[in-house]
Amino acid sequence: MNNCEALIIGGSAGSLDVLIQVLPDINPTLPFPIIIVLHRKSGKESLLTNVLSTKTKLKVKDLEEKERMMASTIYIAPPNYHLLIENNQTFSLDASEKVNFSRPSIDVTFESAAQVFEENLVCLLLSGANSDGTSGLQTVKKYGGRAIIQNPGSAIVPFMPEYAMEHVAIDAILDPKEMANYINQLQND
C-alpha cells in the first residue's frame, strides 16, 4: 500500500449524519489532511464547520483560496464553488458551471486531486441522491488511488454510493461504524 497524502470525503443528502458519527473517533494526529466536499445550499454563514468542529479533536476550518493543506486538519469546501487541488497542494476555487447539478462538484475535486496525489489519494463517497462522485472515483482509480464508498445499505439516500459501486472497481465498502478505523489505519499503510 502507498502512503495516504490526502483523504477526500464527498457526499450529499444524508452524509452529514455519517460525518457526525465518524469524526469523534478519528485520530487527531493524522499525518494527512481530510477535505470534505458536500452538496449544500449557499448562505452567508456556514454552520457546517462549527458543527463538525464540536465532533473532533482535529482542526476544522473553511478552506481558503491558495491555502496550503496541512496534516491533522479537516478542510470544508465552501458552497457555490468547485474545489480544485493544485500541483503545489494548495486549494483553488472556481465558480464555473455546475457539474451534476452541483457546485461544489465531488467529481471536480476527486479528479483534480487524483492528478496531484495519484496513488497516494484516498476518496470516500457517502450518501447522496445523484451520480456526482462516480466519474471522479474512476479518475482516482486510473491514477492508482483508492476508491471507498459508504455501504449503500447504511445510507439515508443510497443512490450515490450504489451508482459508484456499479461503475467503479471499489476498494472498500464501509458502514459508518467502520469508517474511523479505516481512516486511522491509512497512516500505517
Q: Which residues are catalytic?
A: 12, 39, 132
Distance of CA 28 to the CA centre of its chain: 17
Neighbours of 54 (CB within 10 A): 10
**Three cell numbers written together for 29:** 494526529
Helix, strand, coil percentages (3-state) for the chain, rounded to 5, are 35, 25, 40
Cell of 52: 463538525
Contact in structure between 113 and 141 (CB atoms under 8 Å) = no
Which residues are CB-contacts of 149 (< 8 A; sequence separation ≥ 6)?
124, 125, 126, 137, 161, 164, 165, 170, 172, 173, 174
Do residues 88 and 68 touch, judged by C-beta distance below 8 A? yes
Rounded Cα–Cα distance for residues 116 and 126 (Å): 22
